[in-house]
A and B are shown apart, each in its own frame.
Chain A
Amino acid sequence: MNVVQAAESLLALSQQEELEDLSKDDPLSPSEDEGDIDGERKHKKLLEAISSLDGKNRRKLAERSEASLKVSEFNVTSEGSGEKLVLSDLLGPVKTSSSLAAVKKQLNRVKSKKTVELPLNKEEVERIHREVAFNKTSQALSKWDPIVLKNRQAEQLVFPLKKEQSAFAPIEHVLSGWKARTPLEQEVFNLLHKNKQPVTDPLLTPVEKASLKAMSLEEAKMHRAELQRARALQSYYEARARREKKIKSKKYHKVLKKGRVRKALKEFEKLQKVNPTAALEELEKIEKARMMERMSLKHQNSGKWAKSKAIMAKYDLEARQAMQEQLARNKELTQKLQAASDSEEEEEGAEEEGELVPDAVNEIQMDANGPNPWMLRNHSRGTKEIKVQDPEQLPEPVAHEASENEEEDRPGAEEEILLNEFEERRSLRKKSGLSQEAELVSRQEPKDSSSQEVLSELRALSQKLSQENQQSGKQNVSSARTVLAVQREEPTEAEEEPLLLQRPERAHTVEELEELGKEGCFQNKEVPRPVGEGQQSERNPDNQPGAPKEKKRKEQMIDLQNLLTTKSPSVKSLAVPMTVEELEDEEERDQKQMIKEAFAGDDVIRDFLKEKREAVEASKPKDVDLTLPGWGEWGGMGLKPSAKKRRRFLIKTPEGPPRKDKNLPHVIINEKRNVHAAAHQVRVLPYPFTHHRQFERTIQTPIGSTWNTQRAFQKLTTPKVVTKPGHIIKPIKAEDVGYRSSSRSDLSVVQRNPKQLSIRHKKHLKKNSVD
């Protein structure tokens, strides 16, 4: 609003001005002076109005004007009344007078004093207090962490914690009241006295006592703590040094180096002041070090200048020359003074290579000559080739030199030549590599062929074997047919026996089987059947040709039968039951009974298989059929929904795990869950375990006294916390767990690392400082 008003006033003012101007223009002004003054005033007004626009000094300064008849130029004007009065202005004139010195001083003091900052508001202060307090207490409490952890993991805690010191040497006290009475005792004591053994009062010798006294427990603990601290500090510094050493930043190292140099310089200056001779020596040393460094090959082409030249050298001839010069100078400087008896050519060659070959190649060659096994291994191939090629190629550049000695631009040309050579070498190397590869391949080929031969042989063998197997299998089958096939009467049932099929065939000669039968061992399931049944099967041979599946099923069935009707050796027992001995015709009857039982047995097996099949069917999860007959097609009597539709709306349940009795034809194992027993089982995994097998392992061992010795039982069932009745259980103290004293250690913790404040707190502090 104010702004708007100001703008309006401004507008009004300008209009007024215009009007006035107009009025000025029309009648000629009576006096120019007056007009000037008036104009000035107006201008000021305008400025003020504009300055008041920004809203800060909105208050309009009331214009002070006196009604005076004469306005002289010496008069005080009210112009500049808006300016502040500054203390120095006032003090300026006071300077000369000495009487006002005290006042001036006072004033100066007032001036130097700054205003007190506004105190933080209450919440802020409280928060800071809280944080500081929190940090302090958390640090003080953190020393309890290991103890808490230990107590949590402890198998047993006994409260009250403070144990009574078990009396170590009550024997002395016990013995002090005792005296030798009997003559034997006296004699013994006499002997002991003779040997200067301490008898009654101090059982320990003075030396032992002194050694015991030498270090009290408290002291030892203190000492240990100190040592620990020292060790911790040392390790801390070591770790820090290691960390700093690892830093890869160049800038960091540069800064570090600079700092070091500066420090050294400072020290040097100090030294100069204190001990100039020592300083001179130091200076010499530094100089020497510098010289050594410059002399060494280290800086020949790794400086900034050299690097830039190296880059430019490819394009710029001058740069190339400069580099050459530098290198030559370097050579000169570093060359040992010696008799020039050595063959110059060699040297030259070496020089050339040293000069012009790129660093990497240099390195490799040096390595090849030198004893660095690592590099050697890596580059062995390349170096070898180089070695091989060197004698051929080295003379060439020499020859070139000889021919091109006169030319001025020799180094450049030479370099080009060398570069060309390297190119050639590279290509050669590649070729050789290729050829090697080719060789390898060619070498491999015969191998392959040989291996193929072996393979083919193996294959042939395996084929033979398989053929034999097949034959034997066929024989088996045929023998099974001839000997073992029995239950032809029930092929339909046999077809519904998928579970019994998956049995591996095992070939056995009849003799073997018989032997096995004699042993009475039935682990292999194919046991010869009684001959009578074989005859039975021979009676109806026209049934034999059948599908192989059926045969297998037959075998299965027969297996099951064999399981039951086994021919085992009769008892050679001395005591045969009376009835058997007495009755001669018992045997006949027995035979009859046997046959009868055999017939009955067939029934038994069939019934059992049927039962098993039913059980299997019942335990299988049922498919859900959602087909609606007549929906979307014709329905009615005798019409079935189409196969496609049935397929589409049949929800197949996933096949469960295989039955336990899948491979046991003579067993039906109930797969139902024992819900009552399951109620007693653990069904929630306790905390640290993530897999049920882990937890099961921890509950394998029984705890009860029935399965354990008394000691073990007691150990397994000890309570986690034991409290002594009639004792006051006081809270844990620092002394109880081996700390010195709670208050001191708290303080020490706080003092030792005042910087270890929480990040949040640090931030807070920063904020405060900024404010």
Chain B
Amino acid sequence: METAPKPGRDVPPKKNRLQAKKKKPRRYWEEETTLTAAGASPGPPGNKKRNREPRPQRPKNANIAKKSRVSRKRQLPKKPRERRNLEPQRSVSGAQDPFPGPAPVPVEVARKFRRIDKSEKLPHSKSKTRSRLEVAEAEEEEISTKAARSELLLAEEPGFLEGEDGEDTAKIRQADIVEAVDIASAAKHFDLNLRQFGPYRLNYSPTGRHLAFGGRRGHVATLDWVTKRLMCEINVMEAVRDIRFLHSEALLAVAQNRWLHIYDNQGIELHCIRRCDRVTRLEFLPFHFLLATASETGFLTYLDVSVGKIVAALNARAGRLDVMTKNPYNAVIHLGHSNGTVSLWSPAMKEPLAKILCHRGGVRAVAVDSTGTYMATSGLDHQLKIFDLRGTFQPLCARTLPQGAGHLAFSQRGLLAAGMGDVVNIWAGQGKASPPSLEQPYLTHRLSGHVHGLHFCPFEDVLGVGHNGGVTSMLVPGAAEPNFDGLESNPYRSQKQRQEWEVKALLEKVPAELICLDPRALAEVDVISLEQEKKERVERLGYDPEAKAPFQPKPKQKGRSSTASLVKRKRKVMDEQHRDKVRQSLEQQPQKQEKAKPLRARPSALDRFVR
């Protein structure tokens, strides 16, 4: 049991502490950046200790060190556009900086912050344009080096679990882990025996500090699970289908038998949303302030919680919806259907963005990892599959389970948990950006009842499992992101800080219609309307103002520029252009032919008999 209160709770830290962190967790629209080094290094070889404990997540001294460093940095007089500061400064006494210039940055680290793809060839540009491009590229490079340099501030390393040579980590039980780890971490493993109110669904708040769970028979409770302080406990006297925190721990959405209700952290009912009826699953999109609800009636409804308006109500036309997950990368909602398909939805479109046929039977559970790269599905055909979501939607690996997984969840660092009956299996991949390999489970745990809800706690190596017999919080070393963003989701924030954050987050709210499969597409020019406008302009003016002027041969020396020679030269250029065109068209043609060829089977003598 961790007794010492965290600095965030009782002693509100200083303001500048908020500035401490430069690195944030991933966002929907952010490109894939693996902040922590890809190698979740499996520790020093020959380590005799049987199982390594999950690292204590936030040792206080580390935080303090960070704070002090940054505060020192911030005290520097900041002038706009100062370049001179970077030069080695010579003091009056003549002493010299032994390490002049900025600290070197490894190229590898900087590369992952690069966003401009230089391999892509650009059409020829004028000098003015080129200078602009160069400026943009230089800026990008500078920014990426700065980001790479600030990675130094991510002091924490992820935890891991390693068996003795040849030992299967899956054999390590929770009790062993708890025995091995420090007291503070051991306190994170607990069981709540709540047999009375049936199977539980549960949800952690975005900061990972609070836990809400709701039982089938109406039991709803929220607690600060680190200190085990109960915040509210009520019985809504109605079946609870799902439960979810909104943008902060102060608001709680509960999908009850009939309608959707919203409670605050005291357990006071704030809203009853009757337009969302018979809701089975809830998802919250924090950057858009959208609460997505899937209902028995087959509707996917988006509710904007900042203004209380329903943004979109989409008919999925696939019967009852009870499998839903969000893609944290692009805020697309994934729905699983009884016909074995998973459909991807955005509030801007009436039809699904994509439909993927995943299973022969119905889909039982879907989960998407935090980078938006992998989707895990399990179906009635007892299969567990992992799909690649980057364009191809191909299954990367599949596995038949003795009893299909009813619940799936991805952790922040890409561990996959599956609840099958009363067992929870967890698979781990090689690193953060790799899919979990389904060969060997990383951990298994048997519970006292059937699993009904799975959720990994953000920023803590903890998996919350709701089941028939209550709620279990189990330790999964290496599950969560070790470094949190103090500005974005600070587990230790005070009420005041939370309010500040709320205002800022609301100001930065992303419009709902921007949700699309590829969020980077928003940084592209709308070529279709560009062309359209150009066409209209040409029509209006009667000529193309941007068209290249036709070649006009320059008159040469006296006596050499006869009309015939001028015409000849003109003809030459025209022919050259024509040849280019023909060449291009020829290049395109073979592709077509190649495509056409396989249709015609190889002629054989027997073909004449085929009628």
Taking Cβ atoms with an 8 Å cutoff, the residues of A that contact B are 155-156, 158, 171, 203, 470, 501-502, 504, 520-523, 547-549, 560, 563-571, 573-580, 594, 597-598, 600-601, 604-605, 607-608, 611, 660-661, 664, 666-670, 672-685, 688-702, 704, 706-712, 714-716, 718, 722
Q: Across the interface, do A523 and B398 meet the contact criterion of CB distance under 8 Å?
A: no
Q: Across the interface, do A677 and B348 meet the contact criterion of CB distance under 8 Å?
A: yes
Q: Across the interface, do B80 and A681 meet the contact criterion of CB distance under 8 Å?
A: no
Q: Across the interface, do B601 and A677 meet the contact criterion of CB distance under 8 Å?
A: no
Q: Across the interface, do A669 and B423 meet the contact criterion of CB distance under 8 Å?
A: no
* 20 pairs of residues in contact across A and B, judged by CB atoms under 8 Å: A520-B398, A522-B398, A566-B383, A567-B400, A570-B401, A571-B401, A571-B425, A579-B422, A597-B380, A600-B360, A601-B359, A601-B361, A666-B393, A672-B349, A672-B351, A674-B346, A677-B348, A677-B516, A700-B136, A709-B146
- CB-based closest 5 A-B pairs: A601-B360, A577-B421, A676-B513, A692-B525, A681-B526
- The residue on B at minimum CB distance from A566 is B398
Q: Across the interface, do B523 and A700 meet the contact criterion of CB distance under 8 Å?
A: yes
Q: Across the interface, do A569 and B116 meet the contact criterion of CB distance under 8 Å?
A: no
Chain A residues in 8 Å Cβ range of B445: 575
Chain A residues in 8 Å Cβ range of B115: 700-702
Q: How large is the interface on B (under 10, 10 to 19, 20 to 34, 35 or more residues)?
A: 35 or more
- The residue on B at minimum CB distance from A153 is B131
- Given the interface contacts A666-B357, A695-B525, does A716 sit within 8 Å of B139 by beta carbon? yes
Q: Across the interface, do B400 and A669 meet the contact criterion of CB distance under 8 Å?
A: no
Chain B residues in 8 Å Cβ range of A709: 22, 143, 146-147, 149-150
Residue among B120, B352, B381, B438 with the most chain A CB within 10 A?
B381
- The residue on A at minimum CB distance from B512 is A676
Q: Across the interface, do A670 and B392 meet the contact criterion of CB distance under 8 Å?
A: no
- The residue on A at minimum CB distance from B19 is A710
CB distance from B334 to the nearest CB of A (A): 13
- The residue on B at minimum CB distance from A570 is B400
Chain B residues in 8 Å Cβ range of A580: 402-403, 421
- The residue on B at minimum CB distance from A708 is B143
Q: Across the interface, do B525 and A696 meet the contact criterion of CB distance under 8 Å?
A: yes
B8-49 toward A: CB 8 Å interface, digit per residue (1/0)? 000000000001001010010010000000000000000000
Chain B residues in 8 Å Cβ range of A520: 397-399, 438-439
Chain A residues in 8 Å Cβ range of B439: 520
- Given the interface contacts A694-B123, A701-B143, does A604 sit within 8 Å of B400 by beta carbon? no
Residue among A594, A696, A704 with the most chain B CB within 10 A?
A696
Chain B residues in 8 Å Cβ range of A714: 78, 80
Given contacts A502-B595, A569-B399, 15 further A-B contacts (CB under 8 A): A156-B80, A565-B360, A570-B402, A573-B423, A574-B171, A598-B360, A600-B361, A608-B340, A608-B357, A674-B348, A678-B528, A698-B136, A700-B116, A700-B136, A706-B27
The complex places the Cα of A504 from the Cα of B595 at a distance, in Å, of 11
Q: Across the interface, do A664 and B123 meet the contact criterion of CB distance under 8 Å?
A: no
Chain B residues in 8 Å Cβ range of A608: 339-341, 355, 357
Q: Which of A575, A690, A716 contacts B423 (CB 8 A)?
A: A575
Q: Across the interface, do B348 and A676 meet the contact criterion of CB distance under 8 Å?
A: yes
Query: How many contacts between A and B, using CB within 8 angstroms?
Result: 273
Chain A residues in 8 Å Cβ range of B438: 520
The complex places the Cα of A684 from the Cα of B356 at a distance, in Å, of 35
Q: Across the interface, do B132 and A688 meet the contact criterion of CB distance under 8 Å?
A: yes
Is B112 at the interface (CB under 8 A from chain A)? no
B359-391 toward A: CB 8 Å interface, digit per residue (1/0)? 111000000000000000000111100000001
The complex places the Cα of A651 from the Cα of B592 at a distance, in Å, of 22
Q: Across the interface, do A522 and B400 meet the contact criterion of CB distance under 8 Å?
A: no
- The residue on B at minimum CB distance from A618 is B351
- The residue on A at minimum CB distance from B354 is A669
Q: Which of A600, A696, A718 contacts B81 (CB 8 A)?
A: A718
Q: Which of A470, A578, A673, A695 contacts B602 (CB 8 A)?
A: A470
The complex places the Cα of A216 from the Cα of B511 at a distance, in Å, of 61
The complex places the Cα of A694 from the Cα of B124 at a distance, in Å, of 9
Is B527 at the interface (CB under 8 A from chain A)? yes
Residue among B30, B149, B526 with the most chain A CB within 10 A?
B526
The complex places the Cα of A570 from the Cα of B393 at a distance, in Å, of 24
CB distance from B547 to the nearest CB of A (A): 12
- Given the interface contacts A573-B170, A576-B423, A681-B525, does A547 sit within 8 Å of B356 by beta carbon? no
Q: Which of A470, A597, A660, A667 contacts B360 (CB 8 A)?
A: A597
B483-508 toward A: CB 8 Å interface, digit per residue (1/0)? 00000100000000000000000001
Q: Across the interface, do A579 and B403 meet the contact criterion of CB distance under 8 Å?
A: yes
Q: Across the interface, do B529 and A678 meet the contact criterion of CB distance under 8 Å?
A: yes
Chain A residues in 8 Å Cβ range of B394: 522-523, 664
Q: Across the interface, do A678 and B381 meet the contact criterion of CB distance under 8 Å?
A: no
Q: Across the interface, do B122 and A697 meet the contact criterion of CB distance under 8 Å?
A: yes
Chain A residues in 8 Å Cβ range of B348: 674-677
Chain A residues in 8 Å Cβ range of B202: none
The complex places the Cα of A700 from the Cα of B383 at a distance, in Å, of 40
Q: Across the interface, do B22 and A710 meet the contact criterion of CB distance under 8 Å?
A: yes
The complex places the Cα of A710 from the Cα of B70 at a distance, in Å, of 11
Chain A residues in 8 Å Cβ range of B421: 577-580
Is B586 at the interface (CB under 8 A from chain A)? no
Chain A residues in 8 Å Cβ range of B513: 674, 676-677, 679-680
Chain B residues in 8 Å Cβ range of A670: 349, 351-354
The complex places the Cα of A579 from the Cα of B349 at a distance, in Å, of 43
CB distance from B439 to the nearest CB of A (A): 8
CB distance from B402 to the nearest CB of A (A): 5
Chain B residues in 8 Å Cβ range of A715: 81, 142-143
Chain A residues in 8 Å Cβ range of B524: 681, 692, 696
B511-535 toward A: CB 8 Å interface, digit per residue (1/0)? 1011110000111111111100100
- The residue on B at minimum CB distance from A691 is B123
Q: Across the interface, do A571 and B402 meet the contact criterion of CB distance under 8 Å?
A: yes
The complex places the Cα of A279 from the Cα of B115 at a distance, in Å, of 81
- Given the interface contacts A693-B122, A700-B116, does A667 sit within 8 Å of B527 by beta carbon? no
- Given the interface contacts A577-B422, A681-B525, does A697 sit within 8 Å of B133 by beta carbon? yes
Q: Which of A549, A565, A575, A690 contacts B123 (CB 8 A)?
A: A690
Q: Across the interface, do B133 and A694 meet the contact criterion of CB distance under 8 Å?
A: yes
Q: Which of B168, B359, B393, B601 contacts A564 (CB 8 A)?
A: B359
Q: Across the interface, do A690 and B129 meet the contact criterion of CB distance under 8 Å?
A: yes
Chain B residues in 8 Å Cβ range of A674: 346, 348-349, 513, 516
Which residues of B in the span 562-611 have a Cβ within 8 Å of any Cβ on A?
Answer: 595, 598-599, 601-602, 610
- The residue on B at minimum CB distance from A577 is B421
CB distance from B73 to the nearest CB of A (A): 9
Residue among A548, A668, A701 with the most chain B CB within 10 A?
A701
Q: Across the interface, do B353 and A680 meet the contact criterion of CB distance under 8 Å?
A: no
Q: Across the interface, do A568 and B522 meet the contact criterion of CB distance under 8 Å?
A: no
Q: Across the interface, do A690 and B402 meet the contact criterion of CB distance under 8 Å?
A: no
Is B92 at the interface (CB under 8 A from chain A)? yes
The complex places the Cα of A568 from the Cα of B346 at a distance, in Å, of 33
Is B420 at the interface (CB under 8 A from chain A)? yes
Q: Across the interface, do B396 and A522 meet the contact criterion of CB distance under 8 Å?
A: yes
Chain A residues in 8 Å Cβ range of B128: 688
- The residue on B at minimum CB distance from A564 is B360
CB distance from B79 to the nearest CB of A (A): 10
- The residue on B at minimum CB distance from A687 is B128
Q: Which of A578, A675, A676 contacts B446 (CB 8 A)?
A: A578
The complex places the Cα of A575 from the Cα of B444 at a distance, in Å, of 7
Chain A residues in 8 Å Cβ range of B346: 674
CB distance from B465 to the nearest CB of A (A): 13
Q: Across the interface, do A700 and B525 meet the contact criterion of CB distance under 8 Å?
A: no
Q: Which of A573, A690, A697 contacts B116 (CB 8 A)?
A: A697
Q: Across the interface, do A683 and B533 meet the contact criterion of CB distance under 8 Å?
A: yes
Q: Across the interface, do B422 and A680 meet the contact criterion of CB distance under 8 Å?
A: no
Q: Which of A568, A672, A716 contacts B400 (CB 8 A)?
A: A568
Is B395 at the interface (CB under 8 A from chain A)? yes
Chain B residues in 8 Å Cβ range of A666: 356-358, 393
Q: Across the interface, do A575 and B529 meet the contact criterion of CB distance under 8 Å?
A: no
Q: Which of A607, A668, A689 contacts B339 (CB 8 A)?
A: A607
CB distance from B223 to the nearest CB of A (A): 28
The complex places the Cα of A718 from the Cα of B81 at a distance, in Å, of 9
